[in-house]
Chains A and B, each alone.
Chain A
Amino acid sequence: MSAAPKSVAIIGANLAGGWAADTLRQKGFEGEIILIGEEPDPPYERPPLSKDLLLHPDEMPKTLFLHDLDYYAQQRIELRLGVRASRIDLRGKRVELADGGHVNADRIMLCTGGAARSLPVPGADLPQVHCLRSLADSRAIAAGLAPGKSVVVVGGGVIGLEVAASAARKGCAVSVLEAAPALMSRVVTPEIGQFLLQCHRAEGVDIRPGEGIAAILGESGVQAVDTGSGARIDADIVVLGVGIDPADDLARQAGIATDNGIIVDAHCRTSVAEVYAAGDVANQPNPYLGGRVRLENVQNAQNQGAAAAEAILGSTTAFEELPYFWTDQFDLNVQAAGDTRHAEQAITRGALESHAFSVFYLTQGKVQGVLTVNQPKDMAHGRRMIMRHLCPDPAALADPDSDLRQIVKAAS
């Protein structure tokens, strides 16, 4: 065993990095903690960027920032904000910064997150074409949303649909181009994708599955989008919601193993001793999905960041996160846990038309995924069914009047 660390440098002042720093201190680490971030802000939650902050850009959600600046000072967590880490010197245990400075540390944690993808189409560099990843991105999009504006969203995934819903609520004329035949197809079944499509259409959003983008048209500013199938859609603003690429360059250049993100074990350890990774960039074995996965959601960032901190302090508990995300679109609160795409059997509890229902996904009788729409309490029961490997009675699950607590108890 190597000596106990005296200093930890965390690259990425985001939610994973912020929780990691805080956890180190809360669990009794007395040494130096240095949190390095490229953005000017201390760690914040990203979920409001596509929702509350687009709808009400002047109202800061009270829990946007994980902590205020005073807190970091009190906890002796040194913030190095607005500066990029440019290189990791593994032998010298040193992080070099783009401003010429450097940080020495016994342990390094990489919470470098991801970068929103752009698209290689003509016009993608026009000023009204935005990605959505940072607070600055959100503010720039919000400034372009006003009643009567035409908004084209490229990508019918979670971020694209949240932006579409927010823009529609602001009175914009919204179109969504999704190259795949169904919406949110990385995370939900085609049936749920179809349900979401109908909800968006009922709210006036022009959703076009199976339609891509060939070019963004305009001289000095965006005027329209050419879908490539002959359609031309007028646009004042274009938002690209086509996913992120893991920001693993720094790790790769240092010789740390990467493959769709930074490869880590169940204790968030990378291929190099005393270097850890957590958050969107970490590619980790997941017992619930039966393979390696890079989870891009807020729960994972928070919990994996904390778990990596505990691992640095000597914890031997494997991190086994049940994949989970939520999204709010119009009046729908959608939550999903586990594998909600590959099950043998889908048991629906409640009617889709009511906009309040849950779906339990079973394989060989065992619950492996749960999706709820405006039924958050069902999710609390459903997550326990998955984590406890339960085989509940399908007929009871399907009956909206049955008591899920009793069903969990009966199957335990």
Chain B
Amino acid sequence: MAFVKVCARDDVPEGEGIKLEQGPEPVALFNAEGEFYAIGDTCTHGDWSLSEGYMEECEVECTLHMAKFCIKTGRVTAPPATAPVKSYPVKLEGDDIWVDFDAGILPDGG
């Protein structure tokens, strides 16, 4: 259970995501108007990177088959995915972003 320094704020453009591979599973880190959120990177439907997805408000749309996930909770918000992804704690220290890769949790009730 430890936070890891993953990148600087400027490394994640506004409205975009980047893929983090420092943990046991790939994680997508998103910048939503200066707020940063981390969720599991692999779409539960088609094995595609959600960091490559299209972010709008607090959702990311997988660009392969258009499943959508909430970037705050990992919950599915549009099919064809039916299973959620984990969300991970994120903290900011100065210009640095830290993620705890061991503390990913699935949303309540799937």
Interface residues of A (CB under 8 A from B): 19, 45, 63, 66-67, 298-299, 302-303, 306, 324, 326, 333, 376-377, 379-381, 405
Q: Does B64 contact A (CB under 8 A)?
A: yes
A379 with B63: in contact, given A19-B79, A302-B80 (CB under 8 Å)?
Answer: yes
Question: Which B residues, 26 to 63, have Cβ-Cβ distances below 8 Å to chain A?
Answer: 44-46, 52-54, 61, 63
From the candidates A63, A377, A379, name the one contacting B45 in the complex (CB within 8 A). Answer: A63
A376 with B79: in contact, given A63-B45, A299-B66, A405-B15 (CB under 8 Å)?
Answer: no
B interface, how many residues as a size bin? 10 to 19
A45 with B61: in contact, given A63-B45, A63-B46 (CB under 8 Å)?
Answer: no
Give min CB distance, B64 to chain A, whole Å: 6
Are A380 and B63 in contact (CB-based, < 8 A)?
Answer: yes
Residues on B with beta carbons closer than 8 Å to the beta carbon of A333: 64
Are A380 and B54 in contact (CB-based, < 8 A)?
Answer: yes
Are A381 and B54 in contact (CB-based, < 8 A)?
Answer: yes
Are A376 and B64 in contact (CB-based, < 8 A)?
Answer: yes
Interface residues of B (CB under 8 A from A): 15, 44-46, 52-54, 61, 63-66, 79-80, 82
Apart from A63-B45, A298-B80, what are 14 other A-B pairs with CB-CB below 8 Å? Answer: A19-B79, A63-B46, A67-B82, A299-B65, A299-B66, A303-B79, A324-B66, A326-B64, A326-B65, A379-B63, A380-B53, A380-B54, A380-B61, A405-B15
Are B80 and A377 in contact (CB-based, < 8 A)?
Answer: no
15 A-B contact pairs sorted by A residue (CB < 8 Å): A19-B79, A45-B80, A63-B44, A63-B45, A63-B80, A66-B82, A67-B82, A298-B80, A306-B79, A326-B64, A376-B64, A377-B53, A377-B54, A380-B61, A381-B54
Give min CB distance, A232 to chain B, whole Å: 41
Are B63 and A377 in contact (CB-based, < 8 A)?
Answer: yes
Residues on A with beta carbons closer than 8 Å to the beta carbon of B52: 376-377
Residues on B with beta carbons closer than 8 Å to the beta carbon of A380: 53-54, 61, 63
